[in-house]
Structure 1
Amino acid sequence: MSEAAFYDTLRQGLWTATLLSMPILSIALVAGLAIGLLQALTSVQEQTLTFVPKLAAIVAVFWISMGFMTETLVGFFQDTIAPAIEGS
């Protein structure tokens, strides 16, 4: 494998990782901002109030986007990694 092909595969892998993590990270950001705003407006500083809803939102989004994540990862391996291993 040439150096250029290696770096191209690495770039594609990093982009795939970014695409896979985007739904979960974005919902964690939105849930964190909403809960932080709620805490600031009500002056309630309970630690579990931030953790439990964020965790529930992340699990729900993971469950919903699991098909997209699987298809993206399988496509990456079939289109990029498997041909690189075979030497094509």
Structure 2
Amino acid sequence: MDEALLFDTLRQGLWVAVISAAPILAVALVVGVIVGLFQALTSIQEMTLTFVPKLAAIVVIFWLSMSFMTQTLVAFFHDQVIPLIIGG
């Protein structure tokens, strides 16, 4: 395996990781901003108020996007990694 093929596979693997994590990170960001605005408007500085809604939203989005993440990872391994192992 030459360096170009290795770096291309690593780049594609990192892109798959970004695509797989994007829904969870986006929801955590949106919920964090909404809860932060709510805390700023009401002057409530409770730590669990930021943790619990974020955790609940992340669990729901993870459950909803689990099939998408699995399909993305399986496609990457099936199309990129396994042919490198077999050919290699």
* TM-score scaled by length of structure 1: 0.98
> Deviating runs (4+, > 4 A) in structure 1?
none
Unpaired runs of at least 5, structure 1: none
C-alpha RMSD over aligned residues: 0.8
Q: Deviations over 1:28-76 (max 9, x none)?
A: 0000000000000000011100000000000000000000000000000
- Count of aligned pairs: 88
Identity percentage of aligned residues: 64
Deviation at 1:87, TM superposition (A): 1.2
Alpha-carbon separation, structure 2, partners of 1:8 and 1:65? 26
Unpaired runs of at least 5, structure 2: none
Alpha-carbon separation, structure 2, partners of 1:17 and 1:74? 12
- The answer for the alignment partner of 1:45 in structure 2 is 45
Alpha-carbon separation, structure 2, partners of 1:58 and 1:79? 29
The answer to whether the aligner puts 1:76 opposite 2:83 as a matched pair is no
Alpha-carbon separation, structure 2, partners of 1:84 and 1:61? 33
* TM-score scaled by length of structure 2: 0.98
